[in-house]
Amino acid sequence: MSTELSPGHFIIGNKTSEELKSFIQTRPKITKPRRKITMKPIPGRSGDLITDEDSYENGLFELTAFVKGSSQDETEENQTIVGLAFDTGTYQSFVPYWDSKYEYQVITTSGPDFYGTRAYGFSDPYDVQLSYKPFKKLRNVSTFILTSSGTVSNPLKYDSVPYIKLTATGDVTLKVNNVDVVLKNIIEFIELDSEIEECYKFKSNVLTNENSKMFSLDFPVFKPGANTISWVGNVTKVEIEPRWRTR
C-alpha cells in the first residue's frame, strides 16, 4: 500500500484533508524533540554534572493551512469540522505530506485560529500548533505471526517497543534476543505492550489487567537489525506489531 500523500495533504486521526476540505499552505518549521538532561554546577569543579534521563521532550510545529467551501455558510461549517478534528484533548495520529511514510502522535496546543478576509473568497486560512511525541512510527507495517522461533529485522536506527500477543496456556518464557520474559498461568492468551509497559487481556470489549502474571522486569525491545524470538512453554502463536520508529 502506498504511503505517499499529495503536496498539501494530511491525515489527522481518522480524517483526511480532503474530507476536511483543508490543505497545508507551506511546510512548517519543526522544533525537534530535545533529549532530557539536567545540568548542575559543581562548586569548585570545572564543568557541570549531567544527569541523562535517556528520554526526550516533545517536539513542536505549527501548521499554516486553509479550509474552503463553495459559500460562506459552507466554509463556516467546514471550520467547525476542522476544529473538531484537531481539538480532541488527547494524542492522535497525524500524517503530513512531507513525511508520509511516518505517523506522528500529536496533540493540539493552540488553535485552530482562523483569520480569513474577503481577499481569500470562500477559503479561510488558519494556524494550528501541534506538540508531538518524540518518536514517529513507520506506517503500513505488517503484523508478524510466528508459530515457531524466528527472526524479526528492525530496519530503523532506534529500538522499537512492540505490541506482542501470545496465544498460549500455562507458564511461558518468551525469549527476545536472549532476554527472558517470564509469564505464568496464561489462560487462552496474554498481551504485552512495551510502549506503556503493561500486560493485559482484551476480550469481548473487556480489558483485564494481567501485570501480576509477568515475573520479569523488562518488556521486549527490538534492537536495530536482526532480533531472535523463541519461547519455552505451550505457545500456539505469537503475533507482533513491531512499531518501527525513529526521530
Question: Closest Cα partner for 189 from 205, 206, 167, 218?
Answer: 167
Predicted confidence at residue 93, as pLDDT, reads 97
Cα–Cα distance between 182 and 172 in angstroms, integer?
A: 6
| Domains in the chain: boundaries | 10-136, 144-246
Predicted confidence at residue 110, as pLDDT, reads 93
Residue 127, Cβ density class (10 Å: 0-12 exposed, 13-18 middle, ≥19 buried): middle
Cα–Cα distance between 151 and 223 in angstroms, integer?
A: 12
- Is the omega angle on the peptide bond into residue 155 within 30 degrees of 0, that is, cis? no
pLDDT tens string 163-205 = 999 999 999 999 999 899 999 999 999 999 999 999 999 999 9
Among 63-72, 151-160, 192-201, the minimum mean pLDDT is found in 63-72
Residue type, position 82, single letter = V
What counts of helices (H) and strands (E) characterise the chain? 2, 20
Q: Name the class of domain 144-246.
A: mainly beta
pLDDT tens string 15-60 = 999 999 999 998 888 888 888 888 888 887 778 888 877 788 899 9
Predicted confidence at residue 13, as pLDDT, reads 95
10-136: CATH topology: Elongation Factor Tu (Ef-tu); domain 3 (2.40.30)
Q: What is the 3-state secondary structure (H, E, C) of 175-233?
A: EECCEEEEEEEECCEEEEECCCCEEEEEECCEEEECHHHECCCCCCCECCEEEEEEEEE
Identify the DSSP state of 44.
Answer: T
Q: Which distant-in-sequence residues (6+ apart) come within 8 Å of 196 by Cβ? A: none
pLDDT tens string 120-140 = 667 889 999 999 999 999 999
